[in-house]
């Protein structure tokens, strides 16, 4: 029989945050993790070329949330890192998000000022007051030519859906810039943890009140899990219920097939992330990890990302239909006593890392508000 006050399913951001918080108020916490490692999809390790690589795709931390920024700094030393992405389009290399350089390079323009950029966009964009889907969101911002070149096929590769089949919010993650700013994000805090993300999770979970069981799928052992005050579940919400109600529809998730190549050359490409928004290749992007933190080594490792239907779920697929299915699961989830669904997969939301921390912290604070001393709130 497994014993603790708090049972947490999953050792990613949400699970580790709740474990750390509950341990800090004296609760005994048991974390069950299906995989053979902690850190969820943030997991990173040094590879055979001595390069720190993320096993499940690049993770770039950025936030405007001072509370989350303060929290994550407790578990790692961070160094400033402003992420940039470039895209190969029509044999040219351009910045993404779209900025003045993107337009100049692709269309041979000679824009120099914000006013000229806005005028160019006004001439090209198709305005929508409230974009109803991803296609309208992009047309509204940059118009049909850039839509076709940079967004339509990338999105099809990424989601197996065209932008019109997705919520506007998915495509609105990427802004358009009226200047030369080549940064992918514009948040106040943009940084990477020294030595990688996994260390953060080690530090969060390294507490005498916390036990982590790896390679343990909750659904294999749940009959042995009894007597917990609270259960926090961070896996896919439909998986939690599919054993009870076969009539419920499955939610869609996208997974990624990461294809790694170790190359006997110093560099493969000029930037950490190069997107391929066209139809000429099946992958969405190539990541060359040594660029993160300017790591030095004689060799390099690159990863091509192919998004696929099956495998570990990484992305919820935000559209109307999935939202409706999710709401049905949520109704069932809300009826359960002392069982909480938290995180990207359990809330079926396309959270960024900082939002995942924020949600877990807010959940803890709202449940435990009455037990906390004022300085802990
Ligand atoms: N996207 C695109 N072209 C690009 C980059 C992104 O069409 O070159 C679209 C695509 O639909 C993607 C969404 O914008 O899913 C959000 O991109 P983001 O980089 O935020 O995705 P993530 O890094 O979470 O995979």
What is residue 248's predicted lDDT score, i.e. its pLDDT?
80
| Residue 89 lies inside a defined structural domain of this protein | no
Task: Please state the atom number of ligand 1 nearest to the C-alpha of residue 96.
Answer: 8
The SS3 of residue 128 is coil
CB of 151 closer than 6 A to ligand 1?
A: yes
What is residue 376's predicted lDDT score, i.e. its pLDDT?
56
- Which residue out of 139, 171, 278 has the highest number of ligand 1 atoms within 8 Å of its CB and is therefore the one to mutate? 171
d(CA 345, CA 235): 5
SS (H, E, C) 35-84: CCCCCHHHCEEECCCCCEEECCCCCCEEECCHHHHHHHHCCCCEEECCCE
Q: What is the mean pLDDT for each group of 10 consecutive residues in the chain (377 residues)? A: 90 98 97 98 96 97 98 98 98 98 98 98 98 98 98 97 97 96 97 98 98 97 92 96 73 96 98 98 98 97 96 93 95 96 97 98 93 58
Pairing mode of beta strands 44-46, 52-54 = antiparallel
Q: Are 207 and 263 part of one and the same domain?
A: no
Q: Are 235 and 324 part of one and the same domain?
A: yes
Task: Please state the atom number of ligand 1 nearest to the C-alpha of residue 154.
Answer: 7
| The overall pTM is greater than 0.90 | yes
Nearest by Cα to 236 from 221, 223, 248: 248
Task: Report yes or no: 15 and 232 within 8 Å, Cβ to Cβ.
Answer: yes
149 CA distance to ligand 1 middle (Å): 13
d(CA 245, CA 243): 6
- Which residue out of 149, 173, 277 has the highest number of ligand 1 atoms within 8 Å of its CB and is therefore the one to mutate? 173
- What is the CB-side half-sphere exposure of residue 90 using CA atoms within 13 A? 12
Q: Are 19 and 165 part of one and the same domain?
A: no
Q: Are 228 and 280 part of one and the same domain?
A: no
Residue 360, both tokens:
């877990």
CB of 171 closer than 6 A to ligand 1?
A: yes
Pairing mode of beta strands 300-308, 253-263 = antiparallel
Our CA dihedral for 107, 109, 115, 121, rounded to 10 degrees, sits at -20
CB of 167 closer than 6 A to ligand 1?
A: no
pLDDT in tens, 137-164: 999 999 999 999 999 999 999 999 999 9
CB of 351 closer than 6 A to ligand 1?
A: no
Question: Total domain count for the chain?
Answer: 3
Q: Are 74 and 138 part of one and the same domain?
A: no
| Residue 345 lies inside a defined structural domain of this protein | yes
Nearest by Cα to 368 from 338, 341, 330, 346: 338
CB of 275 closer than 6 A to ligand 1?
A: yes
What is residue 246's predicted lDDT score, i.e. its pLDDT?
61
| Residue 84 lies inside a defined structural domain of this protein | no
307 CA distance to ligand 1 middle (Å): 12
Tokens 């926090």 belong to: 232
State the residue range of the domain holding 48: 6-78+190-252+317-376
155 CA distance to ligand 1 middle (Å): 7
| Residue 1 lies inside a defined structural domain of this protein | no
């Amino acid at each position: 029989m497994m014993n603790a006050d708090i049972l947490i399913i999953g050792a990613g951001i949400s699970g580790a945050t709740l474990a750390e918080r509950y341990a800090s108020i004296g609760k005994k916490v048991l974390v069950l993790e299906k995989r053979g490692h902690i850190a969820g999809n943030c997991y990173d390790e040094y590879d055979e070329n001595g390069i720190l690589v993320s096993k499940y795709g690049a993770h770039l931390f950025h936030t405007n949330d001072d509370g989350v920024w303060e929290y994550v700094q407790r578990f790692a030393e961070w160094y400033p890192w402003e992420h940039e992405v470039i895209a190969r389009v029509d044999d040219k290399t351009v910045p993404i998000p779209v900025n003045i350089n993107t337009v100049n390079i692709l269309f041979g323009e000679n824009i120099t000022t914000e006013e000229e950029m806005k005028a160019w966009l006004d001439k090209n964009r198709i305005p929508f007051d409230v974009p109803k889907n991803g296609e309208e969101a992009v047309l509204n911002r940059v118009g049909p030519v850039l839509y076709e070149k940079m967004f339509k096929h990338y999105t099809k590769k990424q989601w197996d859906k065209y932008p019109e089949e997705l919520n506007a919010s998915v495509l609105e993650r990427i802004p358009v810039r009226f200047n030369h700013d080549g940064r992918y994000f514009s948040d106040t805090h943009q940084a990477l943890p020294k030595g990688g993300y996994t260390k953060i999770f080690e530090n969060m979970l390294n507490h005498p009140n916390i036990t982590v069981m790896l390679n343990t799928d909750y659904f294999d052992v749940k009959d042995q899990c009894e007597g917990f005050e609270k259960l926090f579940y961070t896996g896919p919400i439909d998986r939690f219920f599919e054993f009870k109600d076969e009539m419920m529809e499955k939610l869609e998730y996208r997974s990624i097939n990461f294809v790694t190549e170790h190359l006997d050359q110093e560099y493969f490409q000029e930037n950490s992330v190069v997107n391929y928004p066209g139809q000429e290749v099946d992958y969405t992007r190539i990541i060359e990890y040594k660029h993160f933190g300017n790591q030095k080594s004689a060799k390099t490792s690159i990863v091509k990302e192919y998004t696929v239907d099956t495998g570990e779920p990484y992305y919820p697929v935000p559209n109307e239909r999935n939202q409706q299915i999710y709401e049905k699961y949520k109704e069932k989830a809300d009826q359960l006593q002392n069982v909480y669904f938290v995180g990207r997969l359990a809330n079926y939301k396309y959270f960024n890392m900082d939002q995942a921390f924020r949600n877990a912290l807010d959940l803890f604070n709202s449940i435990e508000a009455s037990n906390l001393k004022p300085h802990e709130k």
